[in-house]
Every structure is written in structure tokens, then in C-alpha cells.
Chain A
Amino acid sequence: MSDLQIKKSSTTYDVVIVGSGAGGGMAGYVLANAGIKVLMLEAGAYFDPQKDSQQLKWPWESPRRGAGTTRYFGDFDAAFGGWELDGEPYTTKDNTEFSWFRSRMLGGRTNHWGRISLRMGPHDFKSRDGLTDDWPITYDEVKPYYDKVDRMIGVYGTVEGLENEPDGIFLPPPKPRLNELYIKQGAKKAGVTVITGRGSVLTEALPGNKDRGACFFCGQCGRSCKVYGDFSASSCLVIPAVKTGNLKVITNAMVREVLTNKEGLATGVSYVNKEDMQEYQVNAKTVILGASAGESARLLLNSRSAAHPGGLANSSGVVGRYLHDSTGSSAGGFLPQLMDRKRYNEDGVGSVHIYSPWWLDNKKLDFPRGYHIEYGGGLHMPSYGFGGGIENMNGMVPDRNGNKKEAGGYGASLKDDYRRFYGTQFGMAGRGTAIARYDNYCEIDPNVVDKFGIPVLRFHYKWAPDEIKQAKHMQETFQEIMHNMGGIYGGPQGPETNYGLETPGKIIHEVGTVRMGDDPKKSALNKWCQAHDCKNLFVVDAAPFVQQGDKNATWTILALSMRTAEYILQQRKALNI
């Protein structure tokens, strides 16, 4: 006989939060600092960048020299997880494709993210073309929260006064690397706006904060920062919130469903403890989901009851719908002018030094909305793949004596080529608005469960001509910039690859699956990210997004989560929840 049983806690927390990333972390931070008793459940391991970061390791300290065998973004990268998790599958429908990146760890994907911290603009909340539904809130309503996030967490950048690229409260930005100056020059010549990057890295000490160190410019934000010099939800939100004494974290707690009572109100959650594999239930007056757009939708759809037969907060049927990830297409090459360049420490910061906000008027284009471009290049730390494919480069430039070289080769002259080409490479990547569509969705796969017995997500996502044309435009833009730079590069990607358009999900900006709105028939959450059908249930990750702009999601998740947490505090005072 199995000894499996469900262990019910007699404690009732004020709030239980599922997930410890940007959304869950911010809600936990605000509530715990306000004296609320919070329980946070994280499906992965404990992670403190101060102890667990692989920062400042040399390539030879990894037997695979930093290759991405067990960690997709490299052996030193701070993501425990990846595109596939052992025993936790997801499926796709109708031969469509979707890639889903999950980090199972305290702080979630904010431990390794690119720290690119962009506000969505007024036209991202209320569109000018009417093609997509408006958010129930405006930029002006969110602005005070963006401001607070800027002050609390820190972001570098420059004030530019651009209409749909709102300025923040900025720390001094890092200067461009040499390759990036060429990019800037080439892009400007192509009529493409280039401005300073915006990243959540403390280029200076954060005023009023004694717990976080200033950046020391190793360029390794992706490994997470031992001195908390950049934003991770673990270092900047959850760990400080635990110190208040009001937040308790249980790691390796994989939440199965949200529990509800006869009236349909949330009463807590049930979870599997991955360490003892036992089943637990915890009680809370309020339930907050910050498990990620995919996981939060999955949880709601798996939380069926008599009061919520189609899944919790899903009387509208929109949960899982309107899934959208940013578009992405990229290009790169090398600068022959920079061969044999002088060496110096060009690590800089681990976020972008420069980028191009969307600069065109859609009236003259054959696709809606737009994209931004992220750039990079410089004298980076060698790792697995260094010098790869040199036979595609070294035949294209004269040797030291001015003679054309035969591509490939070996020996002393090849060894010299690696030195000559070091630091000449650059890359650029477009990140654009994908239209939120009803027909792009995730749902519960009726036939498949994960190793915990939890039904898994099945994705259905197709790019439309809007996104494909946008990728084509990216490729054309990249060609012009690279030409202007005097770079050596390959031709543009064509229709055979959808112009290099990445598979949906690959940009890891998936949002929209539990969208907010004023109409309970067309949305799952109200404008405070509170479920229309269940007033003590909130969602604080990227699931509530109605329509993402071309801006990376994290800064908006943080602002909205802070706003929702403050709303919860007000509602508790008013005894509404």
C-alpha cells in the first residue's frame, strides 16, 4: 500500500504567491515590507547569486569551456532549466511550433536575463491602428510604478524624449565598445535611430541601498551577480523580503492547482514537494500567481471545480489565449578594419550598451507595429566556439603582406589569423511586436501529464504575414547597416527561413495568456490583475499583458506587480479581500 497522503497545513497565510521571478518577487517584496504574512512557493531550487553565481570563472574552469550542453546559454549561465525539463514535457498542436524556456530556481529567469529594461510606451497600451485590443490602463496610469521601479531597482540610460520610448529615472550609461561605435555610425547613415541602452545594472551605487554593490564591469550579468550589481528577483526582491521576517519561501514546491471553496473563492494551493515527493495543501486568504505566462495559465486551467468548471478565472474562455512572444531575427559579421586591434578590457556591462528603438512610421510599411534592434560586439572572453568557422572568414581579407589568403588552412599562419580576427565580430538582433491573436494559445493537453501527474500545456502558435514581413524588414535593415559599417557579412535570410524569424517562444518574452480587461466576457482579469471570477486571486507575471510592444517584458511585469500588490494592500484595508 502506498503511503501517499495529502498533508494539510493548519496555518492560514495572508497571501500565498506561486513563483519567485520578477512578478512573484515584486509582489512578495511589497507585501512583506507592508507587514503581510506571505508564503512563496518556488518550483525550483534555492539560488542566491552571492553564493551560487559562476561569475568571474575562466573558461578553463569549465570542462566544456563554457559550452551550453547542460545550460543552453552556456556552462556559467544562471539558468537552472532550459527548453526541455526532464519529466516535465509540453506538447504542440496541429504541427505548430513553440519553444518554452523554464528556469526552476529562486528568481526564475531573472537570474540570467539580458537586463534590457524598457518601458512600454503610450501607444503600446492604446494602439493607434486599432488592430489589437487596448489595455484597460494607460501609460500614464503605469508611469508612477515604472518610476518607483527605476528608483528601487536601478536602470541606466539616457533621456531622449522619444514619444513611444518613455524615459525613466536613469543611472549613468556605459559607453559603447569600439565595434558598437561602428554599428552606431552605420545605423545612423541608414537612417536608423541609435540611442544608449537601458539596462538594470548599477553603473553607480543605487542611492539609499546598502545591500547591493555597484557594477564592476565584468560583462557577465547572464551569470547573475555576486554583489547584486544587477537586477535578479532573487537578489533584489525575494532575499530582502525574507529578511523582513514576513516572507517564507518553500523551494522545490511544484504547485498543482489553486484550491477554491463552494463560493468559488480561492482558499490556498496544493503542491508537490519535490524533495519528499509528498502532497501538501496550504491555506491563504489571497492567492497570487507569478509562475510565468505559461505556468499561470496552466495552473488556472488545471484548477477546475463546480464553481469554475472551465478552469479558474476562465468563464470568458480566454485563459491560454492571446499567447504572444516577441519576434526575433538576427545578423552578424566582422569588421576587417579592426583586425589586429589593440587589446584592452572591453567587458563593459552584461546588458546592451546601445540599441535602436523603433524609428519608422508604419503608414509607409506593409506590416503593423515595429521592432527594436539590440547590438553587440567587442573583445569578449573566449569560450567554446571561439574561432569557429574561421574558414568562412580568413579567405576574405588579405594577409599581413597584403596577399589574398586561401580560406581555411592550419599552422602558424592560422594561429596568427585567430589573433588577427579576435574582437572584429559584431551582431544585431531585432525584437519586435507580435500581434496577440485569439488563435495562438496554450491549453491543457488532454492526454499528457508530467512526472508529478500534473496535466501539461499544449501549444498552438503560428506566425502570421505581419510578423514574417516584419522579419523581412529586419533583414533588409541589417544588410544596410552592415554595408554602411564596412563590415563583411553574409546575405540576408530569405523566405526559406521566414527571414530568420525565430520559432515562437525562442525570444522568451511569452505573454498574454491571462489577459486583463474591463469586460469579463473578453478578459480573465480586471485592470488590477484581479480575477473577474474570483476576487482573491491575482496574476502578476506577464500573463495579464493585453498586447506587448516591442519592449522586453520584465520592466512592465515589475511595474504591474508592484501596482497590484499596492492594490491588494488597499483592498485588505477596506476589508474587501
Chain B
Amino acid sequence: MNRRDSLKALGLSAVSAGLLLEACKTETKPAAAEAAAATEGAAGRQPFEIERDKKLNGEKFFTAAEMETITVLVDIIIPKDDKSGSASDAKVPDFIEFIVKDMPDHQTPVRGGLRWLDLQCLNRYSKVFTDCSHNQQIELIDMIAYPNKAKPEMAQGVSFFNRMRDLTASGFFTSQMGVKDIGYAGNSPGKWTGVPEDILKHYGMENV
């Protein structure tokens, strides 16, 4: 079977492979649609995996207040810009809610970190983080977002923010919006013929 037959076997012609690419260029589907996409196609999933996902989706870990704080935080970490939307536009808070249930090791550091953040804000501004002004929020974030210059007494906040930064990046750049933003051009059937000529030339790698 040659490559064209392979694509046929997959139900993909060159045309439909193109459509597949087009499909991923469309705007992000609502979270519900993404979640549905995530649970459909049970082929090749083990029964315990399907059960487990169902169970996790039925549970709730974060309180409404915690989710609100997470939403503000992820949008500070990845805001909307001229290329793509914000982390909350890409439903990153929902991803974080799922992933802490999936990986319980995240639960205490995230929950405790959110509380740590609120306590810092209460002591400094007499308000919890979400009630602070944007400037106050940023003033606090600046104290924990730069590991090398953060004060030692803020170290727990640095650890928390590192974790939130990583979770936000994971959630955003694995969403439809984020994959488009980062410019990942694969996952589409084709033929790999090596690094394109112009790029080889650009990096002086023609003869390696």
C-alpha cells in the first residue's frame, strides 16, 4: 500500500487532509464542545480510563471563589494580545480544575497557594486577591513572578506562581487556540522530505 492508499485507508485524501488543517484554524469551540470531543471516540480507551474520566468530570475541587482567583491569575499570566485570546478565553481554568483532580499532587500546592495569596493581600491591602485593584494585584504578582529577584520571604509564593505559570502554559498551548497561536504545523498526513531549503540556508546547515 503506498502513501495515497494509506491516506485513503484513514479516510483522508489530500483534499480532506487540507480540510483537517482548515478545521483547526477555525475559532475555538465552546468548552462544552471541547469536553465532548474529549470524551467521544472511546475506541482504544480502556474501560477503567473511561470510568475514571467520567468520575473526575462529575467531581468539583475548587470553590467558586478559588475558580475566580484562578481565572484572574491565568489571564495575568497569558493575556489576550493581537495574536490570540487570553488563557480564560481558551478555558484554561476548566483545564486546571480537571488536572488537579487527575493529578492530586497539584491539589494542596494550588489550594494552599491561592490561600497564601489571599492572606498576603489581606495583610497588605485588607482585601482578598480578587477584590484588589489591578495595580495591587500586579504589585503582588511582581513580588513572586521573578524567582531570582524575589525576596526570600516570598519563596512560597514563587513556587506557587511557577506552578500556576506552568499549568497555564500547558492549558493554553494545548487548546485549539494555543496550538494555532504557537504555529504547530503537524498532525496532518504528508511526506517529510527534510528541513525546507530556505531554512537550511538561513541557518547555514545545507551541508551538514
A associates with B: yes
Contacts of B189 in A (CB 8 A): 56, 216-218
Q: Separation in Å of the A344 CB from the closest CB of chain B?
A: 5
- B: contact size bracket: 35 or more
Q: Contacts A63-B57, A386-B174, A389-B166; is A381 near B186 (CB within 8 Å)?
A: yes
B56, B174, B192: the one contacting A347 at CB < 8 Å is B192
Q: Is the CB of B182 within 8 A of A410?
A: no
Q: Contacts A176-B194, A384-B174, A385-B170; is A67 near B102 (CB within 8 Å)?
A: yes
Q: How far is the CA of A61 from the CA of B174 in the complex (A)?
A: 9
Q: Contacts A382-B178, A406-B149, A411-B79; is A229 near B6 (CB within 8 Å)?
A: yes
Q: Contacts A343-B185, A410-B165, A414-B77; is A175 near B149 (CB within 8 Å)?
A: no
Q: Is the CB of A410 within 8 A of B77?
A: yes
Q: Is the CB of A407 within 8 A of B6?
A: no
Contacts of B185 in A (CB 8 A): 343-346, 379
Q: Is the CB of B208 within 8 A of A181?
A: yes
Q: How far is the CA of A53 from the CA of B148 in the complex (A)?
A: 44
Per-position 1/0 for B49-66, Cβ under 8 A of A: 100110011000000000
Contacts of A212 in B (CB 8 A): 1
Q: Is the CB of A381 within 8 A of B187?
A: yes
Contacts of A342 in B (CB 8 A): 199, 202
Per-position 1/0 for A212-247, Cβ under 8 A of B: 111111111000001101000000000000000000
CB-nearest residue of chain B to A62? B38
A65, A218, A219: the one contacting B170 at CB < 8 Å is A65
Q: How far is the CA of A210 from the CA of B155 in the complex (A)?
A: 61
How many residues on A have C-beta within 8 angstroms of the other chain's C-beta atoms? 85
Q: How far is the CA of A414 from the CA of B76 in the complex (A)?
A: 10
Contacts of A343 in B (CB 8 A): 183-185
Contacts of B67 in A (CB 8 A): none
Residue among B6, B9, B188 having the largest count of chain A Cβ atoms under 10 Å? B6
Q: Is the CB of A60 within 8 A of B175?
A: yes
Q: Is the CB of A422 within 8 A of B162?
A: no
Interface flag for B154 (CB, 8 Å) = no
B52, B166, B194: the one contacting A388 at CB < 8 Å is B166
Interface flag for A59 (CB, 8 Å) = yes
Per-position 1/0 for B149-193, Cβ under 8 A of A: 100000000100110011001110111101101111111111111
CB-nearest residue of chain B to A211? B1
B1, B38, B208: the one contacting A213 at CB < 8 Å is B1
B141, B148, B196: the one contacting A410 at CB < 8 Å is B141
Q: How far is the CA of A51 from the CA of B44 in the complex (A)?
A: 7
Q: Contacts A382-B174, A411-B79; is A63 near B53 (CB within 8 Å)?
A: yes
Q: How far is the CA of A51 from the CA of B98 in the complex (A)?
A: 27
Q: How far is the CA of A52 from the CA of B42 in the complex (A)?
A: 9
Q: How far is the CA of A349 from the CA of B191 in the complex (A)?
A: 10
Q: Is the CB of A387 within 8 A of B7?
A: no
Interface flag for A395 (CB, 8 Å) = yes
Q: Is the CB of B195 within 8 A of A390?
A: no
Q: Is the CB of A382 within 8 A of B187?
A: no
Residue among A395, A406, A415 having the largest count of chain B Cβ atoms under 10 Å? A415
Contacts of B191 in A (CB 8 A): 216-217
A175, A217, A348, A415: the one contacting B81 at CB < 8 Å is A415
Interface flag for B35 (CB, 8 Å) = yes
Interface flag for B78 (CB, 8 Å) = yes
Per-position 1/0 for B1-39, Cβ under 8 A of A: 111011101100000000000001000000000110111
Residues facing B in A21-60 (CB within 8 A) are 45, 47, 51-54, 56-60
Interface flag for A195 (CB, 8 Å) = no
Q: Contacts A52-B43, A216-B6, A345-B190; is A210 near B1 (CB within 8 Å)?
A: yes
Q: Contacts A391-B162, A410-B77, A422-B182; is A386 near B7 (CB within 8 Å)?
A: no
Q: How far is the CA of A286 from the CA of B27 in the complex (A)?
A: 60
Q: Is the CB of B174 within 8 A of A408?
A: no
Q: Separation in Å of the A262 CB from the closest CB of chain B?
A: 42
Contacts of B179 in A (CB 8 A): 58-60, 381-382
Contacts of A64 in B (CB 8 A): 98-99, 102-103
Q: Is the CB of A185 within 8 A of B9?
A: no
Q: Separation in Å of the A423 CB from the closest CB of chain B?
A: 9
CB-nearest residue of chain A to B175? A60
Q: How far is the CA of A382 from the CA of B95 in the complex (A)?
A: 15
Q: How far is the CA of A386 from the CA of B184 in the complex (A)?
A: 12
Q: Is the CB of A217 within 8 A of B174?
A: no
Q: Separation in Å of the A350 CB from the closest CB of chain B?
A: 11
Q: How far is the CA of A51 from the CA of B43 in the complex (A)?
A: 7
CB-nearest residue of chain A to B73? A410
Interface flag for A11 (CB, 8 Å) = no
Q: Contacts A213-B5, A414-B77; is A344 near B170 (CB within 8 Å)?
A: no
Q: How far is the CA of A216 from the CA of B14 in the complex (A)?
A: 11
CB-nearest residue of chain A to B206? A181
Q: Is the CB of A218 within 8 A of B81?
A: no
Contacts of A213 in B (CB 8 A): 1-3, 5-6, 9
Q: How far is the CA of A77 from the CA of B196 in the complex (A)?
A: 29
Q: Is the CB of A174 within 8 A of B166?
A: no
Q: How far is the CA of A379 from the CA of B112 in the complex (A)?
A: 36
Contacts of B145 in A (CB 8 A): 408-410
Residue among B1, B2, B44, B171 having the largest count of chain A Cβ atoms under 10 Å? B44
CB-nearest residue of chain A to B142? A410
Q: Separation in Å of the B99 CB from the closest CB of chain A?
A: 6
Contacts of B102 in A (CB 8 A): 63-64, 67, 69
CB-nearest residue of chain A to B49? A70
Q: Separation in Å of the A45 CB from the closest CB of chain B?
A: 7
Q: How far is the CA of A63 from the CA of B96 in the complex (A)?
A: 10
Q: How far is the CA of A219 from the CA of B189 in the complex (A)?
A: 10
Contacts of B184 in A (CB 8 A): 343, 379-382, 422
Q: How far is the CA of A182 from the CA of B188 in the complex (A)?
A: 26
Interface flag for B147 (CB, 8 Å) = yes
Q: Is the CB of B183 within 8 A of A422?
A: yes
Q: Is the CB of A175 within 8 A of B193?
A: yes
> 11 extra interchain contacts, Cβ-Cβ under 8 A, other than A60-B179, A210-B1, A219-B186?
A63-B98, A65-B174, A213-B9, A214-B3, A216-B7, A218-B189, A220-B187, A343-B184, A381-B186, A389-B166, A395-B148
Sample of 12 A–B contacts (CB below 8 Å): A57-B41, A58-B176, A63-B98, A217-B190, A217-B192, A342-B202, A380-B186, A381-B187, A387-B173, A391-B165, A411-B77, A422-B184
**Chain A to chain B: the 7 pairs with minimum beta-carbon distance, closest first:** A175-B194, A213-B6, A52-B44, A387-B169, A216-B189, A59-B174, A343-B183
